Structures are given as structure tokens and as C-alpha cells.
Chain A
């Protein structure tokens, strides 16, 4: 499933890299502790987080995540957005809290398998 489909299904707002909506999502990871995300997430994951500072872009780039979704309608910090645009990392925003969003994405991915 590509990230654009998830965005459409869950009514997510695309904040950066709208030309990368064909990125394939192979799994997901939810977390705000960066060392945990660094160690345990995988390439192709969609990363769900409440962190909005620019280091999330470095992690997503390094781990080759399909994209980042910010929860609870949180907007990225200005330098996060600039970095995401420069690095072509899709950042999307959901108005859902983290538990609900994670569950919905889990179900979407499971149904697509």
C-alpha cells in the first residue's frame, strides 16, 4: 500500500514531499523515544509520533521510513518542515490520537496483505 492511499483513507494532511505519495508502506512503528525508533523500526515503515522537532527527519532518512505521521493535529516545527522538504521526507498530520491512528493503520496494512 502506498502512503497516498493511507493519507486518503484516513484523511491525513500532507505537509511535505507531496510528490512522494507513491512511497510503499510495508509496516509501521509508533514511538516518541528516538533510540527506540532507531533500534526497532524498519525500512519502509510509516512512523507515527508526537515529536515535531527536526531530528525526526534525520531518523526517517536514516531508517528509510516511507514517511512520518504526526498525531493530535500537531504541526512540525519550522526547521523540521524545511528539512523534510530538502530531504524529500513526507510528513503528514492526523487529528487522531496516537492509539487510534496506530490501530487504523495497522488494520489498513493487515487488510492489504
Chain B
């Protein structure tokens, strides 16, 4: 099933995707779609690879913990920007959540091979700039920026 794509009208390089919490059936669909957009735009392999990793981890976090979320992709000549906004439980202690190995995942999530406490850590390692804010019982906001060293002029 294709994720809902709301391509904004003012520019060709902004995309938005919706993700449903709890739906492991479609987990990874948005990341796959974003990867193929970035490849189509001719971005360097390393930029595509890093974007796919951070996007997948954020997508899995929404599916695992949130009610729903939105992924906004903005491609500029110098960067790929991925914003992920969810409505969910939020993260009480971000510093702790960023520690490798720390996870609040339940047994079902862990049995699938998720919830190893690597997600946010991977997002941080593979982003050139990473911002995270969260409000308990409201949701979490992530912004990842991946630099394009080749600075693609004609997207």
C-alpha cells in the first residue's frame, strides 16, 4: 500500500507522508518512498543511505510508540531535511532515551528485533544535525539534516 503523499504545491522538493501508529504491516513504506525520491533526484549514494537509515528509525519509533505521525521531507541543493512529528506519549528524559541500549519497548516489539535501544542513537550518528524535543503525553518532534557534499544544483 502506498503511503499518503501530500506533495505541496509551491515547490517540487517538499513532500509529506503520514504514518499510522501500531501498524507494523506498513512499517518502512515511507522510508522506502523517500529513498526512491532521493535516488530519483540523483543525490549521492551516501546521502541517500544516511537519509534512509534515519528515516527508517524514526518511522519505526512512530509505529512502535505513537498514535500517528507525519514525516516532512525537504530537499535543497545543500541538504536533505527530514522532520518527524508524532502524537504520542512523548519522551520524559531525552538524554536517557538517546543512550545506546536504553529502550522502553515491550516484549512484542523486542521479539521482532526492534527496541534494542539503537534507534535514536543511530539517528544521531547518521544525521549531520539532529534536534529533538518532546512533551510528555503530547508527542515528539525530530529534525534531521543530512548535508549533501556535492551540492546538487539542478534538482
> A53: which B residues are within 8 A, CB to CB?
24, 112
Inter-chain CA distance A35–B31, complex, in Å, is 14
Are A35 and B122 also in contact (CB < 8 A) when A51-B112, A62-B35, A62-B52 are? yes
Q: Give how many A residues have a beta carbon under 8 Å from the other chain's beta carbons.
A: 17
Inter-chain CA distance A28–B122, complex, in Å, is 21
> B28: which A residues are within 8 A, CB to CB?
55, 58-59, 61-62
B53 within 8 Å of A by Cβ?
A: yes
Specify the chain A residue showing the minimal Cβ separation from B45.
Answer: A43
> A61: which B residues are within 8 A, CB to CB?
28, 32
Query: Is B116 a contact partner of A33 (Cβ separation < 8 A)?
Result: yes
Inter-chain CA distance A36–B31, complex, in Å, is 16
A23 within 8 Å of B by Cβ?
A: no
Inter-chain CA distance A36–B117, complex, in Å, is 10
Q: Give how many B residues have a beta carbon under 8 Å from the other chain's beta carbons.
A: 22
- Report B14 CB to chain A, min CB distance, Å: 22
A112 within 8 Å of B by Cβ?
A: no
Which of A33, A39, A54, A55 contacts B126 (CB under 8 A)?
Answer: A39
A1 within 8 Å of B by Cβ?
A: no
B83 within 8 Å of A by Cβ?
A: no
Inter-chain CA distance A79–B25, complex, in Å, is 9
B118 within 8 Å of A by Cβ?
A: yes
Q: Which residues of A contact B (CB under 8 A)?
A: 32-36, 38-39, 51, 53-55, 58-59, 61-63, 79
Q: Which residues of B contact A (CB under 8 A)?
A: 24-25, 27-29, 31-32, 35, 52-53, 56-57, 60, 112-114, 116, 118-119, 122, 125-126
Q: Can you name 10 A-B residue pairings with CB atoms under 8 Å?
A: A33-B116, A34-B112, A35-B114, A38-B53, A38-B57, A39-B126, A51-B112, A53-B112, A54-B24, A61-B32
Instruction: In the A-B complex, list the 10 residue pairs whose CB atoms are closest, starting with the nearest.
Output: A58-B28, A35-B118, A34-B113, A33-B116, A39-B122, A32-B113, A51-B113, A62-B32, A33-B113, A53-B112
